[in-house]
Amino acid sequence: MVKLLLIISGGALGSLTRYLVNNFYIFFFPNFPIGTLFVNFTGSFLVGFLISYLENYSYNENFIRFFLIIGFLGSFTTFSAFSMEIIEFINNKKIFTALIYLILSILLCISGAFLGYFINRV
């Protein structure tokens, strides 16, 4: 039951944070989904960092695993918004922009997770 409460509370905070961050970036970059790119990169980096942290240090594993990784970061990052933004670019005949966004997202998120994971290993 504690694990479920950790996931629920982390998820609520993560989705609210994503909403606020995304709206901040929409104000400055209305024509490109920098907000989604930012939350997905940041979330990927933090997941890599926290998983590496769990492997290296003894800490309250339930808090990190269930509240932060599954709850907060699971709802903070958003593959569904990323997917819809790609479809919107394609529907608006912005194929090149869709490809750039797709490639940037994949490269940045995997690189972020890799960087986060190995930052604790040094």
Tell me the domain boundaries of the chain: 2-119
Q: What is the C-alpha to C-alpha distance for residues 105 and 86, in angstroms, rounded to an integer?
A: 11
Residue-wise pLDDT for 62-73, tens only, equals 899 999 999 999
- pLDDT > 90? residue 53: no
Q: How many CB atoms lie within 10 A of CB 38?
A: 17
Q: State the pLDDT at residue 122.
A: 66
H/E stretch holding 111 reads helix 95-119
This prediction's pTM = 0.89
- Contact assessment for residue 39 and residue 107, using Cβ atoms and an 8 Å cutoff: no
Dihedral, CA atoms, 35, 113, 66, 58, nearest 10 degrees? Answer: -140
